[in-house]
Structure 1
Amino acid sequence: MRTFPARIHVSAMKLTILLLVLIIPFHIQAAERPAGVVELFTSQGCSSCPPADALLAELAERDDVVALAYHVDYWDYLGWKDEMATPENSARQRAYGETFDRSVYTPQVVVNGQRDIVGSHRKEIYAAIDKGSEGNAALPVDVDISSSNGSVFVNVGAAETAPADTHIVVVYYKPRRVVSIRGGENRGRSIEYRNIVTSFQTVGMWHGKAMRLELPKSEMVKKGGHCAVLLQSFDAEGRPGAILGAARTAESW
């Protein structure tokens, strides 16, 4: 661990069926709640990170987990620049550091926005995820992503209570990349990275009622075609907190 229409004649029934087919969105992601969201903060320049990267790749294969890798830039000075790293990823990790009142480090995993774990500690990470898979309502709110024609729809369910400041966050990512590292602490290694976060943004607020957002599919495609949606609470200072719901696209658009 390192710190820091055509005109046709049809019956009324056939016309009704046709209209329903046209307006019902094609679902990419089922509405089943995932057991957990695993956010890994990692760097190609960190010698402690490859085991955590391998663990995230394993988790990325699970249908019941939203696994995301945020590459950070603060280890670039060690002799190898991580070209997948962004200042925004580092800023998100620092915000989590403020939430947990501790220094940032790599590899760091945050599960459901509520607990940080060393990214290579398999048993602890799986135990945190399994709390959700055992029906303990780790993610209490339904979130669903669907697509129709030129739009992407985000559906968020209702809840009896909701935190005052809950964001709908879209996280764009690339599903897979293999990198041959030619410098720094991991020099000579070839590492496969999964679900590499390229950018993220808040697209709306949730106040406890069921809602639907429509987003342009063209913007999604430009940013890689894969995304996850996180329903996440934030405090008055803008620090991230518990993730209440999540979904991810099962394929690119």
Structure 2
Amino acid sequence: MRTSPARIHVSAMKLIILLLALIAPFHVQAAERPAGVVELFTSQGCSSCPPADALLAELAERDDVVALAYHVDYWDYLGWKDELATPENTARQRAYGETFDRSVYTPQAVVNGRRDIVGSHRKDVYAAIDKGSEDAAALSVDVDISSSDGSVFVDVGTAAKAAPADAHIVIVYYQPRQVVSIGGGENRGQSIDYRNIVTSFQTIGMWHGRSMRLELPKSEIMKNGGRCAVLLQTFDAEGRPGAILGAADAAESW
């Protein structure tokens, strides 16, 4: 039986569409900008932290919030060593302390790099997220994460009219979840479900207002917790962190 030229043409088009779908990068971040970035500085040795940890777990379930938990180590002397804490997390919080000109504390939540709030105060945290979505320059630059084969791609858009045109591209590696039974210190006897636990972070490039793409090996993410977020963040001349202009969260594990 002979096939008509028109049918051959339709079949060829379907094949081309299928091939394009197979070779295109797999996107793990929706195109919409997040409503807010919430960085919680917490510790297993802090009796005030479990309510904030629970609030962060709630925020981690939202598709429109990048929620990250930085465990700090300066409460370890109270009788329980936080195995999720790192000196780098503590250093980031202290740098924020210099930015806000105040002492560090736990639980401290920093929203969009602009406001610090007691991390267990639900109304204040949600209000800061809402306020951030109203700020002209807050999260005004598109950031996207995609994956193909053994690579992860970070795409950053052009500067919005109200946004600064220079920023660091910071990748934050994290472990999505770990339940810890605490055997000592102020939270002794509690079992706490921790979410989006930061394992490490680093600047992977500089952005100067124009769209750009960076490529990273997927293996780096796998060995550092399995997931990552990307923050487009300003820093001052002294290296202190400032406003976050854009963000994306790779909510899928590779």
Q: TM-score, normalised by structure 2?
A: 0.91
Aligned to 1:3: none
Q: Distance in 2 between matches of 1:176 and 1:228?
A: 15
Q: Write the letter of the residue equivalent to 1:182.
A: G
Aligned to 1:223: 224
Q: Distance in 1 between matches of 2:223 and 2:19?
A: 30
Whether 1:201 aligns to 2:199 is no
Whether 1:174 aligns to 2:152 is no
Count residues in correspondence: 244
2:171–2:204: 8 Å Cα contact kept in structure 1?
A: yes
Superposed CA deviations along residues 79-107 of structure 1, whole A, max 9, x for unmatched, are 00000000000000000000001110000
Deviates more, 1:115-124 or 1:136-145: 136-145
Superposed CA deviations along residues 183-224 of structure 1, whole A, max 9, x for unmatched, are 001111111111000000110010000111111111111112
Aligned to 2:3: none
Q: Write the letter of the residue equivalent to 1:244.
A: L
Q: Distance in 2 between matches of 1:103 and 1:71?
A: 17
Q: Write the letter of the residue equivalent to 1:47.
A: S
Aligned to 2:122: 122
Whether 1:95 aligns to 2:98 is no
Deviates more, 1:151-160 or 1:127-136: 127-136
Q: Distance in 2 between matches of 1:14 and 1:118?
A: 55
Aligned to 1:143: 143
RMSD value, Cα = 1.9
Alpha-carbon shift at residue 31 of structure 1 (Å) = 1.7
1:165–1:235: 8 Å Cα contact kept in structure 2?
A: no
2:166–2:209: 8 Å Cα contact kept in structure 1?
A: no
Q: Distance in 2 between matches of 1:165 and 1:96?
A: 19
Q: Write the letter of the residue equivalent to 2:240.
A: R
Unaligned runs of 5+ in 2: 1-8
Aligned to 1:6: none
SS at match of 1:45: coil
2:145–2:250: 8 Å Cα contact kept in structure 1?
A: yes
When Rg is computed on C-alpha atoms for both structures, the one with the higher figure is: 2
Deviates more, 1:149-158 or 1:218-227: 218-227
Superposed CA deviations along residues 2-37 of structure 1, whole A, max 9, x for unmatched, are xxxxxxxx9975775465334320111112100000
Q: Write the letter of the residue equivalent to 2:37.
A: V
1:8-19 to structure 2, matched below 5 A, reads: 16-17=16-17
Alpha-carbon shift at residue 42 of structure 1 (Å) = 0.3
Q: TM-score, normalised by structure 1?
A: 0.91
